[in-house]
């Protein structure tokens, strides 16, 4: 695939500024992603014992039934998750952006919360509601004598993954829909198009960059996710296989790293595929005055249906968090539809410590989000607007971060930076800044996709016009490109921020002391004992509320900005 | 927008002024124990040794070992504190632990038949743990199941799809349970029991705590766990019970001082505190409930608390041979994964077919059908390698990459998995044949 990109070696005049930017980003990715991950993944290409270079491990991979089965299961689950996630996200996105719908802001925020699933507690809460002996099944069994295996096997994984990751589609699609110029729609309407046809032929195609950005993220994320399959005890998928092998005590087994390499290859391939699908199509529109689609009023009947659909979807996607809330208030909850009793004691227990965790989480996640937006925006600009050699490689390198298991990155950081000491003798790897960088690297692909989609919708002719009028490149970017991308940048920030806030796997390796710990780590230390389940859930609720408030705030900023841009009701 | 970002950065920068509040006496401990365990010890230690502060870093046992190994060039950790003795053995063999002689004396040398301390003085037992069967009372009642007490109970048809276990490759404590069964019942019979249980499993979790968690919440009825998971759950009000089967063992949970500890004095103080009567008393707190290593403490223990030093059950427990275990650790774990964990659907399907056929045959006894069932059981129990082979240098080198290896680990895994899936399919076919005969 690299060949396709590099064949047209025309002499393009890259500006010094662009070359500087690309080298800076390449350096950043090299130091904080490629080298640390490389020091660990290198094992995939060595023979066990001797350490000689070999590719025999890859031959073994394809000769093993378990790995082949895992591979196909992973592809199947990822594909189906995209389908179901689209089914959930599409109605929410369309209703909230295209119709005059009360509470759009709330829905956009609530629809986003599933991404913030704190580790462990989220899983326990899901099991308590949908597990074999969860609330739903205990009631069904009581009334009808049946159980529905929501949480079992590959279908269970698809169920949980769709609920967990559909916000990727929702956020990116909504942003795209908001960016569509109303005049397009009006022109179509003048020519006699309306209703479903208008949506299918005009609105949806124009929103394609956002949809594809979201869908490809869902695919890759599900493909690389290990937490959900493991919590459902599904082991014959690729990511859990890699994790199980990388983290076992004892000697290093190269197969875990071989699987990591394959995960990275497939992730990059999927991203490349979505880029190919977009190639040769122009999704940009020149006008931005309209500020999104015209909003239609719903008739009374339509309203009832719409609110019903939205209500149902929200109830479903928020159920893990409802379970989490119940768990945080429960005394004992065991084999019963509802807890035995309720108490506030768990909140009392975590109250004293949570302020430290919250503060650390906010610092780490917001810094990581900022780094992601800056680098993601820069990469998107370099790829879409310049012809600098190697720009696609930046995109792929950044995207590959999705496929690197957090613990591999964590170990890589220890290996690379532990030997480097500060003047006072403390190792570089023990600074909390390293946690921020690891989080930023892990969440960079999210922000990158959002920035990419946002920039695809900005017409280049606007920049050309600005330059024709004498503006410099920098000025054009600052005055034209950035303002027009705001929605996408913010969407990228919010996704990176909120998912970084609950990330654990890389953090667990890098956290050096309790005073540096983010909330996910606090959760982890509680969730290892029966008495810690309630306090852990309470911390989880605090984490969700905290991130949700930040999200609400940013949605409020978007809405206000669009109003300010002269959107008329 | 830019202003918002700038404001966010400023706020973040203000927070950044959170430099570490350090004084001379910070003792850093890496542990797999939960906050419920570490908090009372931290409070007790700091009260008993003014000037020291305990800094707890919580990591799973395996990532703790990896962490200490990766950071040895510039070690910042004073102590390692976890359950599984094999993790300490692994650290010791990589020269990552320091020798020490605790000042506390008069502690027993053995608990059950297991030596309490490392013979070379690199790590020390501070609590005893036995392995057994935990069950959820409400779940058993709702499903009309009797309380299981022996490993062999778990192979019975009525427990099909009601049991959870942690993968031994993931959980050092489960590994010891498996090894105990193999040593207590012998290689072939032991594996037959394990596979009998395997055919009844509902889930194989990847974390030790996943099992008690599933039992506590009632997602599964029965779990194979280390005792304190059940005792602390009981103390927290969960409707669970626990039984020690007759083939089991008690092993110590340990603490060790990391080599080149930055705060050697603090590390020694903590080990001495942990072994002292004050420290041992903390183990009896409701949220911890581990068996102290100091026999004197049992006088203060709650009603019904097992005493491994007096209770006859513990005296008759089998002798656990750590050397045998160590030689075949990787092989046993991999066999369990390849024959049971990753073949769960196959082994469960075959077991279910056998259970159904057995029921039908019991109602309509016919010799040829009975013979088919015996064959089916034998097929499930069949092992790809013998115990001599499991401990042989050739196979061990396949896992370590040593010189005498005759196949790579990946090749062995594929071979064993193929062996298992073929045998399970054949067993299922035999059972179905038997059912067809009597139906």
Q: What's the rounded Cα separation, in Å, for the pair A203 and A99?
A: 13
Distance between first and last Cα of chain A: 47
- At B375 the pLDDT is 95
Task: Please check whether residues B333 and B438 belong to one and the same domain.
Answer: yes
- Mutual orientation of helices A345-385 and A482-501 as an angle, nearest 10°? 140
- At A11 the pLDDT is 46
Is the sign of the CA dihedral B137, B138, B139, B142 positive or negative?
positive
Length of chain B: 439
For B262, list phi and psi in degrees, rounded to 5. -65, -30
Q: What's the rounded Cα separation, in Å, for the pair B389 and B397?
A: 12
Task: Please check whether residues B291 and B386 belong to one and the same domain.
Answer: no
Chain A environment of B139 (Cβ under 8 Å): 133, 335
Using the predicted structure, report yes or no on whether residue B20 has a pLDDT greater than 50.
Answer: no
- At A13 the pLDDT is 55
List C-alpha distances in Å: A14 to A19, A29, A214: 7, 21, 31
Residue A292 contacts residue A567 (beta carbons within 8 Å): yes
- At B209 the pLDDT is 86
Number of domains, chain B: 2
Q: What's the rounded Cα separation, in Å, for the pair B201 and B185?
A: 20
Task: Please check whether residues B412 and B275 belong to one and the same domain.
Answer: no
Residue A113 contacts residue A502 (beta carbons within 8 Å): no
Domain boundary among B263, B283, B313: B313
Within-domain flag for B103? yes
List C-alpha distances in Å: B107 to B104, B117, B124, B206: 8, 10, 11, 35
Chain A environment of B232 (Cβ under 8 Å): 529-531
Q: What's the rounded Cα separation, in Å, for the pair A181 and A185?
A: 7
Using the predicted structure, report yes or no on whether residue B373 has a pLDDT greater than 50.
Answer: yes
Task: Please check whether residues B41 and B111 belong to one and the same domain.
Answer: yes
**Residue A72, both tokens:** 């196909």
Beta bridge partners of B223: B134, B164
pLDDT tens by residue, A75-114: 999 999 999 999 999 888 888 887 777 777 777 777 778 8
Closest CA to A566 of A297, A288, A175: A288
The Cβ-side half-sphere exposure at A436, using a 13 Å CA radius, reads: 20
Task: Please check whether residues B292 and B436 belong to one and the same domain.
Answer: no
Within-domain flag for B203? no
Q: Considering only residues 550 to 569 of chain A, which have any Cβ-Cβ distance to chain B shorter than 8 Å? A: 557, 561
Cα-Cα-Cα-Cα dihedral of A6, A12, A15, A21, to 10°?
0
**Residue B211, both tokens:** 């099992």
Task: Please check whether residues B267 and B412 belong to one and the same domain.
Answer: no
List C-alpha distances in Å: A510 to A119, A406, A427, A432, A492: 17, 11, 12, 8, 25
Within-domain flag for B201? no
- At A290 the pLDDT is 53
Say how far residue A383 (Cα) sits from the centre of its chain.
Answer: 21
Q: Are the beta carbons of A419 and B74 separated by less than 8 Å? A: yes
Q: Are the beta carbons of B212 and A419 separated by less than 8 Å? A: no
Q: Are the beta carbons of A249 and B90 separated by less than 8 Å? A: yes
Task: Please check whether residues B273 and B307 belong to one and the same domain.
Answer: yes
Question: Cβ–Cβ contacts within 10 Å for residue B388, how many?
Answer: 9
Residue A12 contacts residue A387 (beta carbons within 8 Å): yes
The Cβ-side half-sphere exposure at B207, using a 13 Å CA radius, reads: 20
The minimum CA-CA distance between A10 and chain B, rounded to whole Å, is 37
Domain boundary among B313, B343, B360: B313
pLDDT tens by residue, A347-388: 988 887 788 888 899 899 999 999 999 999 999 989 888 888
Q: What's the rounded Cα separation, in Å, for the pair B67 and A176?
A: 44
- At B236 the pLDDT is 87
Which residue of A lies nearest to B410 if distances are taken between CA atoms? A60
Within-domain flag for B381? yes
Domain boundary among B286, B313, B340: B313
Regarding beta strands B26-31 and B201-205, do their DSSP bridges make them parallel or antiparallel, or are they unpaired?
Answer: unpaired
Please give the DSSP secondary-structure letter assigned to residue B241.
E
Cα-Cα-Cα-Cα dihedral of A149, A151, A155, A161, to 10°?
150
Q: Which positions ≥6 away from B41 have C-beta within 8 Å?
A: B54, B274, B279, B282
Task: Please check whether residues B118 and B265 belong to one and the same domain.
Answer: yes
Best of A51, A149, A331, A334 to disrupt the B interface by mutation (most B CBs within 10 Å)? A334
Task: Please check whether residues B53 and B100 belong to one and the same domain.
Answer: yes
Chain A environment of B167 (Cβ under 8 Å): 244
Question: Quick one: A211 exposed, middle or buried, by C-beta within 10 A (0-12, 13-18, 19+)?
Answer: buried
3-class DSSP assignment, residue A420? coil
DSSP string, B163-228: EEEE-TTT-HHHHHHHHHHHHHH-HHHHHHHHHHHHTTEEEEESSTTHHHHHHHTTSSSEEEEEHH
Q: What's the rounded Cα separation, in Å, for the pair B192 and B194?
A: 5
- At A140 the pLDDT is 92
CATH number at residue B118: 3.40.190.10
**Residue A129, both tokens:** 């509601």
pLDDT tens by residue, B388-399: 999 999 988 888
Q: Are the beta carbons of B216 and A427 separated by less than 8 Å? A: no
Which residue of B lies nearest to A125 if distances are taken between CA atoms? B217
Q: What's the rounded Cα separation, in Å, for the pair B3 and A553?
A: 14
More confidently predicted of B58 and A6: B58
Q: Considering only residues 169 to 228 of chain A, which have any Cβ-Cβ distance to chain B shorter than 8 Å? A: none
Using the predicted structure, report yes or no on whether residue B9 has a pLDDT greater than 80.
Answer: no
Task: Please check whether residues B390 and B366 belong to one and the same domain.
Answer: yes
Cβ of A426 under 8 Å from any chain B Cβ? Answer: yes
Within-domain flag for B272? yes
Q: Are the beta carbons of B410 and A60 separated by less than 8 Å? A: yes
- At B15 the pLDDT is 46
The residue with tokens 């390293």 is: A434
The Cβ-side half-sphere exposure at A137, using a 13 Å CA radius, reads: 18
Q: Which positions ≥6 away from A11 have C-beta within 8 Å?
A: none
Please give the DSSP secondary-structure letter assigned to residue B285.
S
**Residue B127, both tokens:** 């609590």
The minimum CA-CA distance between A212 and chain B, rounded to whole Å, is 25
Task: Please check whether residues B351 and B417 belong to one and the same domain.
Answer: yes
Q: Are the beta carbons of B413 and A489 separated by less than 8 Å? A: no
Task: Please check whether residues B421 and B352 belong to one and the same domain.
Answer: yes
Residue B412 contacts residue B335 (beta carbons within 8 Å): no
Given a cut of 50, the residues of chain A with pLDDT beneath it are 1-12, 289, 566-569
Chain B environment of A525 (Cβ under 8 Å): 34-35, 38, 56, 58
Average pLDDT for B63-78: 86
Q: What's the rounded Cα separation, in Å, for the pair B42 and B31?
A: 12
Closest CA to B387 of B341, B342, B327: B327
Cα-Cα-Cα-Cα dihedral of A113, A115, A121, A125, to 10°?
60
pLDDT tens by residue, B178-232: 998 999 899 999 999 999 999 999 999 988 888 998 999 899 999 999 998 999 8
3-class DSSP assignment, residue B57? strand
Within-domain flag for B35? yes
Cβ of A483 under 8 Å from any chain B Cβ? Answer: yes
The Cβ-side half-sphere exposure at B273, using a 13 Å CA radius, reads: 21
Best of A129, A141, A335, A492 to disrupt the B interface by mutation (most B CBs within 10 Å)? A335
Beta bridge partners of A296: A99
3-class DSSP assignment, residue B337? helix
Within-domain flag for B365? yes
The residue with tokens 């956002």 is: A210
List C-alpha distances in Å: A177 to A185, A295, A489, B412: 11, 11, 15, 54
Residue B195 contacts residue B340 (beta carbons within 8 Å): yes
Using the predicted structure, report yes or no on whether residue B24 has a pLDDT greater than 60.
Answer: no
Question: Quick one: A297 exposed, middle or buried, by C-beta within 10 A (0-12, 13-18, 19+)?
Answer: exposed
Chain B environment of A526 (Cβ under 8 Å): 34-36
Q: What's the rounded Cα separation, in Å, for the pair B63 and A246?
A: 10
The Cβ-side half-sphere exposure at A135, using a 13 Å CA radius, reads: 17
Q: What's the rounded Cα separation, in Å, for the pair A379 and A491?
A: 16
pLDDT tens by residue, A277-300: 877 666 666 665 455 566 777 788
Within-domain flag for B194? no
Q: Considering only residues 363 to 402 of chain A, which have any Cβ-Cβ distance to chain B shorter than 8 Å? A: 363, 366-367, 370
- At A19 the pLDDT is 86
User: Helix/strand/coil (H, E, C) string of A306-356?
Assistant: HHHHHHHHHHHHHHHHHHHHHHHHECCCCCCCCCCCECCHHHHHHHHHHHH
Q: Are the beta carbons of B212 and A530 separated by less than 8 Å? A: yes
Q: Are the beta carbons of B217 and A49 separated by less than 8 Å? A: no
Closest CA to A124 of A154, A162, A160: A160
Q: What's the rounded Cα separation, in Å, for the pair A253 and A102?
A: 55
Question: Quick one: A52 exposed, middle or buried, by C-beta within 10 A (0-12, 13-18, 19+)?
Answer: exposed
Residue A132 contacts residue A285 (beta carbons within 8 Å): no
Domain that holds residue B338: 328-439
pLDDT tens by residue, B119-172: 899 999 999 888 899 999 999 999 999 999 999 999 999 999 999 999 998 888
- pLDDT level of residue B337 (50, 70, 90 thresholds): very high
- At B321 the pLDDT is 80
Tell me how many residue pairs between chain A and chain B have CB atoms under 8 A apart: 230
Average pLDDT for B26-42: 91
- At B7 the pLDDT is 53
Best of B138, B167, B206 to disrupt the A interface by mutation (most A CBs within 10 Å)? B206
Q: Considering only residues 485 to 504 of chain A, which have any Cβ-Cβ distance to chain B shorter than 8 Å? A: 486, 489-490
Say how far residue A503 (Cα) sits from the centre of its chain.
Answer: 11
Question: Cβ–Cβ contacts within 10 Å for residue A282, how many?
Answer: 10
Of residues B18, B35, B418, nearest to A525 (C-beta): B35
- At A6 the pLDDT is 44
pLDDT tens by residue, A401-441: 887 878 788 888 888 888 788 877 778 877 888 999 999 99
- Mutual orientation of helices A432-456 and A208-224 as an angle, nearest 10°? 140
- At B390 the pLDDT is 92
Cβ of A253 under 8 Å from any chain B Cβ? Answer: yes
Domains and CATH numbers, chain A: 12-42+56-334+348-564 (1.10.3720.10)
Closest CA to A188 of A346, A331, A294: A294
Q: Are the beta carbons of A513 and B57 separated by less than 8 Å? A: yes
Q: What's the rounded Cα separation, in Å, for the pair B369 and B352?
A: 16
Beta bridge partners of B124: B255
């Amino acid at each position: 695939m690299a060949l396709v990109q590099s064949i047209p070696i025309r002499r393009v005049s890259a500006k010094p500024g662009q070359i500087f930017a690309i080298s800076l980003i390449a350096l950043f990715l090299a130091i904080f992603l490629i080298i640390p991950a490389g020091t660990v993944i290198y094992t995939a290409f060595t023979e066990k014992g001797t350490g000689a270079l070999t590719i025999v491990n890859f031959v073994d991979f394809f000769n093993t039934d378990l790995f082949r089965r895992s591979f196909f299961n992973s592809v199947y689950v990822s594909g189906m998750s995209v389908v179901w996630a689209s089914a959930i996200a599409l109605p929410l996105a369309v209703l909230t952006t295209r119709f005059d719908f009360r509470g759009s802001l709330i829905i956009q925020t609530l629809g986003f919360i599933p991404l913030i699933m704190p580790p462990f507690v989220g899983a326990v809460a899901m099991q308590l509601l949908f597990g074999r002996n969860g609330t739903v099944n205990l009631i069904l069994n009581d009334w009808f004598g049946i159980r529905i295996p929501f949480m079992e096997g590959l279908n269970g994984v698809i169920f949980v993954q769709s609920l967990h990751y559909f916000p990727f589609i929702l956020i990116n699609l909504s942003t795209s829909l908001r960016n569509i110029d109303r005049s397009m729609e009006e022109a179509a309407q003048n020519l006699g198009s309306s209703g479903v046809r208008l949506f299918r032929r005009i609105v949806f195609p124009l929103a394609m960059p956002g949809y594809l950005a979201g869908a490809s993220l869902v695919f890759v994320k599900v493909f690389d996710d290990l937490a959900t399959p493991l919590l459902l005890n599904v082991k014959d998928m690729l990511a859990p296989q890699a994790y199980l092998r990388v983290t076992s005590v004892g000697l290093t087994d190269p197969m875990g790293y071989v699987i990591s390499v394959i995960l990275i290859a497939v992730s990059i391939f999927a991203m490349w595929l979505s880029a190919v699908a977009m190639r040769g199509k122009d999704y940009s529109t020149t006008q931005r005055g309209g500020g999104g689609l015209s909003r239609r009023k719903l008739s009374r009947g339509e309203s009832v249906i719409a609110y019903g659909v939205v209500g149902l979807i929200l109830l479903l996607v928020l159920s893990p968090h409802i379970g989490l809330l119940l768990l945080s208030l429960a005394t004992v909850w065991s084999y019963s539809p509802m807890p035995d009793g309720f108490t506030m004691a768990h909140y009392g227990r975590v109250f004293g410590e949570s302020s430290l965790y919250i503060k650390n989480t906010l610092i780490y996640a917001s810094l990581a989000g900022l780094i992601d937006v800056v680098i993601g925006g820069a990469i998107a600009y370099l790829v879409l607007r310049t012809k600098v050699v190697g720009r696609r490689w930046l995109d792929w390198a950044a995207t590959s971060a999705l496929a690197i298991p957090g613990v591999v990155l964590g170990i890589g950081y220890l290996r690379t930076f532990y030997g480097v000491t500060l003047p006072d003798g403390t190792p570089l790897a023990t600074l909390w800044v390293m946690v921020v960088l690891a989080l930023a690297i892990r969440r960079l692909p999210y922000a990158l996709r959002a920035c990419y989609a946002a920039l695809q919708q900005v017409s280049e002719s606007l920049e050309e016009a600005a330059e024709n009028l004498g503006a410099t490149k920098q000025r054009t970017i600052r005055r034209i490109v950035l303002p027009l991308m705001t929605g996408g940048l913010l969407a990228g920030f919010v996704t990176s921020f909120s998912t970084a806030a609950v990330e654990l796997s890389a953090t667990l390796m890098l956290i050096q002391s309790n005073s540096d710990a983010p909330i996910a780590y606090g959760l982890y230390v509680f969730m290892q004992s029966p008495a810690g389940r309630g306090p852990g859930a309470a911390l989880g609720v605090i984490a969700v509320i905290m991130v949700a408030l930040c999200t609400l705030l940013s949605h409020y900023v978007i809405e206000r900005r669009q109003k300010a841009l002269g959107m008329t009701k | 927008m830019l202003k918002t970002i700038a404001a966010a950065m400023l706020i973040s920068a203000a927070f950044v002024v959170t430099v570490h509040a350090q004084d001379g006496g910070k003792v850093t401990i890496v542990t797999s124990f939960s906050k419920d365990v570490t908090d009372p010890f931290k409070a007790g230690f700091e009260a008993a040794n003014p000037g020291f502060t305990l800094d707890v870093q919580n990591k799973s046992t395996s990532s703790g070992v990896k962490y200490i190994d990766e950071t040895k060039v510039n070690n910042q950790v004073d102590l390692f504190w976890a359950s599984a003795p094999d993790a300490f053995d692994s650290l010791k063999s990589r020269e990552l632990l320091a020798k020490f002689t605790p000042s506390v004396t008069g502690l027993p040398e053995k608990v059950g038949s297991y030596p309490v301390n490392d013979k070379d003085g690199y790590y020390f037992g501070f609590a005893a743990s036995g392995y057994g069967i935990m069950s959820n009372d409400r779940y058993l009642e709702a499903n009309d199941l009797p309380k299981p007490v022996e490993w062999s109970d778990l192979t019975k048809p009525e427990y099909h799809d009601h049991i959870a276990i942690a993968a031994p490759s993931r959980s050092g404590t489960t590994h010891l349970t498996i090894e105990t069964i193999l040593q207590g019942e012998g290689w072939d019979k032991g594996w037959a029991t394990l596979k009998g249980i395997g055919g009844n499993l509902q889930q194989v979790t990847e974390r030790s705590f996943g099992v008690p968690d599933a039992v506590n919440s009632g997602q599964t009825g029965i779990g194979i766990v280390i005792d304190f998971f059940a005792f602390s759950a009981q103390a927290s009000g969960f409707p669970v019970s626990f039984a020690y089967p007759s083939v089991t063992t008690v092993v110590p949970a340990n603490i060790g001082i990391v080599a080149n500890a930055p705060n050697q004095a603090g590390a020694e103080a903590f080990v001495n505190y942990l072994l002292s009567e004050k420290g041992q008393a903390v183990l009896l707190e409701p949220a911890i409930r581990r068996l102290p290593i100091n026999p004197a403490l049992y006088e203060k223990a709650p009603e019904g608390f097992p005493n491994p030093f007096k209770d006859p059950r513990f005296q008759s427990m089998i002798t656990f041979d750590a050397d045998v275990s160590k030689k075949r650790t990787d092989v046993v774990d991999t066999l369990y994964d390849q024959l049971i964990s990753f073949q769960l659907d196959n082994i469960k399907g075959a077991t279910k077919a056998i259970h159904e056929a057995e029921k039908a045959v019991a109602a309509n006894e016919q010799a040829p059908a009975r013979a088919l069932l015996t064959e089916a059981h034998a097929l499930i129990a069949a092992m790809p390698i013998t115990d001599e082979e499991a401990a042989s240098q050739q196979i061990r080198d396949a896992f370590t990459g040593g010189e005498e290896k005759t196949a790579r680990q990946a090749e062995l895994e594929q071979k064993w998995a193929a062996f298992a899936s073929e045998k399970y399919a054949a067993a299922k076919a035999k059972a179905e044949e038997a059912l067809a005969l009597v139906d």
